[in-house]
């Protein structure tokens, strides 16, 4: 029996892509601290700027690219650190959802 390896080539670039999309985001964590801590910090940045459409649009553009190009490891990180906290605040989720791509919105809605 052969097993197919499903490599997630986007995951190692996740933080660099985040910085590219949202250059104003500054984290207290180093890359060595891990993607999950940085994404949790990124979620807090998003919430601090929830009423700034320009910043939120940039943040969601990053999420959309990650959902499109990433595989399971990337999607798991986004769901755990960004989507799950959004599930508990429907008012904030309503502000973010219109910017989500079809792929990202499908993941957002399927993991609720």
On whether residue 6 sits in a domain, the answer given is no
Q: Contact at 8 Å (CB) between 26 and 50?
A: no
Q: Take residue 106 and report the two structure tokens written for it.
A: 């499908």
Q: Other C-beta atoms within 10 Å of 67: how many? A: 23
- Distance between CA atoms of 76 and 98, rounded to whole angstroms? 21
On whether residue 23 sits in a domain, the answer given is yes
Helices 53-69 and 35-48: crossing angle, nearest 10°?
A: 150
Instruction: Look at residue 17 in the predicted model and tell me its pLDDT.
Output: 97
Is the torsion defined by CA of 76, 34, 82, 7 positive or negative? negative
Is the torsion defined by CA of 25, 49, 100, 83 positive or negative? positive
Residue 49 domain boundaries? 11-110
112 residues of the chain, pLDDT tens digit each: 555 556 899 999 999 999 999 999 999 999 899 999 999 999 999 999 999 999 999 999 999 999 999 999 999 999 999 999 999 998 999 999 999 999 999 999 986 6
Q: Contact at 8 Å (CB) between 103 and 68?
A: yes
The 8-class DSSP code of residue 72 comes to H
On whether residue 67 sits in a domain, the answer given is yes
On whether residue 84 sits in a domain, the answer given is yes
Provide the domain count of the chain: 1
Instruction: Look at residue 68 in the predicted model and tell me its pLDDT.
Output: 96
């Amino acid at each position: 029996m052969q097993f197919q390896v499903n490599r997630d080539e986007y995951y190692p670039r996740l933080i660099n892509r985040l910085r590219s999309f949202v250059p104003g985001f500054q984290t207290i964590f180093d890359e060595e601290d891990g993607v999950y801590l940085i994404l949790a910090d990124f979620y807090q940045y998003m919430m601090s700027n929830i009423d700034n459409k320009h910043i939120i649009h940039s943040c969601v553009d990053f999420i959309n690219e990650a959902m499109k190009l990433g595989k399971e490891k990337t999607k798991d990180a986004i769901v755990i650190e960004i989507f799950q906290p959004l599930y508990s605040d429907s008012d904030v989720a309503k502000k973010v959802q219109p910017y989500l791509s079809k792929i990202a919105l499908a993941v957002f809605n399927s993991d609720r």
